[in-house]
């Protein structure tokens, strides 16, 4: 079981490049199922979750190949249209092969993903959207069985803003007959990246990035080539790492607009931030104010940066109220941060963080989910002594070589097999 040992007290300084976005790459790979032939993707991060997506695509008869950060998927007509439980349980985003398989082949059998550490993660809105397009959906022995002779365009209102739901139904609608209008669609940049790839494949999508997306169905799509957008969550994580250690860190290859909500909060806390078209810099700052955050769908404060920001608040001056509105159980990092000496009171969806500058002391802690593990690594950068983060495989799902990037900036961090 991999562990990571972080020696606290080293200031991070310098430049670091952000990799490709996990939460875009996974969907782009599944979108390739909409058109047989060879799809080419650049800037694909080398992550455990991408590996899982490749295994699923291979199980559907595709040939996948990685060379550096270029990933190709050669799609052939699948022998079966089933995404098996063993694959889906490892990576719940596999549910996003449902829309493409249903639209392209008229059938899909996808294991229900089940919940995860941060919440129940239902997919009811994915399924409601498919039904709106004319699909017949049954749930049998833990699998979603979807069928449709030919999907028909429809208007569909998402009662909750859902990234995966918007992506799944948008992909399905590309081959439906007629026009589909998705209302209260999610506006995350990853959805824009996906829609842009689908349009390169010949889809007719408009309004992506706004809450109303219109898709005019087409007969056929063709394989294309695309460069995955940068990972805004990795960028935010690296920026907070610099801020916490009182260093000056520039994160390259990121559009500042993609992490605007974080930049606003860092400035509110007293940090000086500068930016160019494709980089953001946090400047040296000893001592910062506690600020409140509330997570919400894009462009508001991202739930995927909540745990990392909480780590920053544990050593701020004052009390920060952190409200998590997106997932019902995304405070698994709280007790572990408290093991490091943080003073946090978690309630339902709200955590009160009483900041104590210099207050963290190293201890063994346990990673429970992807972003919680990032939060613990950040806390380890400033905790006095050597912090051991156990179950670090959670981190590998969404960060490529985080320890290498932090070491490059001056951290003393090593992985123990
Ligand atoms: C995506 O998950 C991301 N994962 C998550 O990142 C991210 O936290 C989340 O979007 C929100 O931004 C990927 O892109 C692979 P949702 P997703 O559907 O699509 C409820 C990370 O750390 N909901 O937008 O599953 C749901 O319960 C991961 O990289 C329904 O009720 O999130 C939640 O409360 C974690 N019914 C809210 O919507 C549905 O059918 C938002 O979920 C679907 C969702």
pLDDT of residue 115: 75
CA angle 366/368/371 to nearest 5° reads: 110
Contact between 27 and 93 (Cβ < 8 Å): yes
H/E stretch holding 88 = helix 85-88
Q: Is 157 within 8 Å of 181 (Cβ atoms)?
A: no
Taking the centre of ligand 1 as the mean of its atom positions, its distance from the CA of residue 351, in whole angstroms, is: 20
How many angstroms separate the most distant Cα atoms in the chain? 63
Q: Return the pLDDT at 120.
A: 83
SS3 85: helix
Calpha distance 151→131 (Å, rounded): 9
CA of 92 to the centre of ligand 1 (A): 10
What gap in Å lies between CA 116 and CA 260, rounded to an integer?
A: 28
Residue 387: strand, helix, or coil: strand
Residue 116 annotated among the catalytic residues of the structure? yes
Report the nearest atom of ligand 1 relative to the CA of 190: 14
The rounded average pLDDT for each run of 10 residues, N- to C-terminus, in the chain (417 residues) is 94 98 98 98 97 95 97 94 90 95 97 85 96 97 96 98 98 98 98 98 98 98 98 98 98 98 98 98 96 98 98 98 96 98 96 97 96 98 98 95 97 94
The DSSP element (H or E) to which 336 belongs, if any, is: helix 332-339
The answer to whether 99 and 176 have CB atoms below 8 angstroms apart is no
Residues near ligand 1 (Cβ within 6 A): 23, 26, 93, 119, 121-126, 160, 162-165, 186, 303-304, 326-327, 370-371, 398
Helix, coil or strand: residue 10 = coil
Choosing from 62, 97, 116, 338, the catalytic residue is 116
User: Ligand 1: which residue has its CA nearest to atom 42?
Assistant: 162
Residue 119 three-state SS? strand
pLDDT for the residue numbered 417: 83
Q: Identify which of 24, 98, 121 to mutate to test ligand 1's pocket (most ligand atoms within 8 A of the CB).
A: 121
Residue 31, pLDDT score = 98
Res 79: pLDDT: 86
pLDDT score of 331: 97
At residue 272's C-alpha, the angle toward residues 340 and 405, to 5°, is 55
**Distance in Å, CA 112 to ligand 1 centroid:** 15
**Which of 31, 164, 189 to probe ligand 1 with, by most ligand atoms within 8 A of CB?**
164
- Rounded CA gap, 409 and 411, in Å? 6
Say which residue the tokens 């990799």 belong to. 19
Taking CA atoms only, the protein residue closest to ligand 1 atom 27 is 121
pTM listed for this prediction = 0.98
Spatial contact of 165 and 131, defined as CB atoms under 8 Å apart: no
């Amino acid at each position: 079981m991999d562990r990571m040992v972080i020696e606290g007290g080293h200031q991070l300084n310098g430049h670091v490049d952000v990799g490709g976005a996990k939460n875009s790459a996974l969907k782009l790979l599944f979108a390739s199922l909409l058109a047989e032939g060879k799809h080419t993707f650049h800037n694909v991060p080398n992550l455990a979750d991408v590996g899982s997506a490749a295994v699923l695509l291979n199980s559907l008869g595709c040939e996948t190949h990685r060379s550096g950060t270029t990933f190709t998927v050669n799609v052939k007509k699948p022998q079966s249209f089933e995404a098996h439980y063993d694959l889906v349980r490892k990576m719940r985003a596999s549910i996003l092969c449902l829309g493409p398989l249903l639209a392209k082949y008229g059938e899909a059998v996808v294991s229900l993903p089940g919940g995860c550490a941060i919440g129940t993660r239902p997919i009811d809105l994915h399924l409601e959207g498919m039904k709106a397009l004319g699909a017949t959906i049954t749930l049998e022995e833990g699998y979603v069985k979807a069928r449709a002779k030919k999907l028909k365009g429809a208007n569909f209102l998402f009662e909750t803003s859902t990234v995966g739901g918007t992506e799944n139904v948008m992909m399905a609608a590309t081959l439906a007959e007629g026009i589909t209008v998705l209302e209260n669609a999610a506006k995350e940049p990853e959805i824009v990246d996906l829609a842009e790839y689908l349009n390169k494949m010949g889809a007719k999508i408009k309004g992506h990035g706004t809450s109303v997306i219109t898709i005019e169905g087409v007969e056929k799509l063709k394989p294309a080539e695309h460069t995955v957008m940068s990972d805004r969550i990795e960028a935010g994580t690296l920026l907070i790492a610099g801020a916490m250690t009182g260093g000056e860190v520039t994160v390259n290859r990121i559009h500042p607009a993609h992490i605007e909500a974080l930049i606003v909060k860092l400035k509110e806390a007293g940090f000086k931030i500068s930016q160019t078209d494709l980089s953001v810099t946090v400047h040296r700052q000893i001592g910062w104010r506690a600020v409140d955050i509330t997570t919400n769908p894009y462009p508001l404060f991202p739930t995927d940066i909540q745990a990392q920001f909480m780590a920053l608040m544990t050593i701020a001056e004052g009390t920060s109220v952190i409200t998590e509105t997106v997932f019902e159980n995304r405070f698994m990092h709280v007790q572990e941060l408290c093991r490091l000496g943080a003073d946090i009171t978690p309630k339902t969806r709200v955590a009160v963080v009483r900041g104590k500058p210099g207050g963290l002391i190293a201890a063994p802690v346990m990673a429970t989910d992807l972003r919680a593990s990032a939060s613990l690594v950040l806390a380890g950068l400033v905790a006095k002594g050597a912090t051991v983060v156990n179950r670090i495989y959670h981190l590998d799902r969404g960060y490529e070589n985080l320890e290498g990037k932090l070491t490059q900036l001056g951290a003393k961090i090593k992985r123990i097999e």
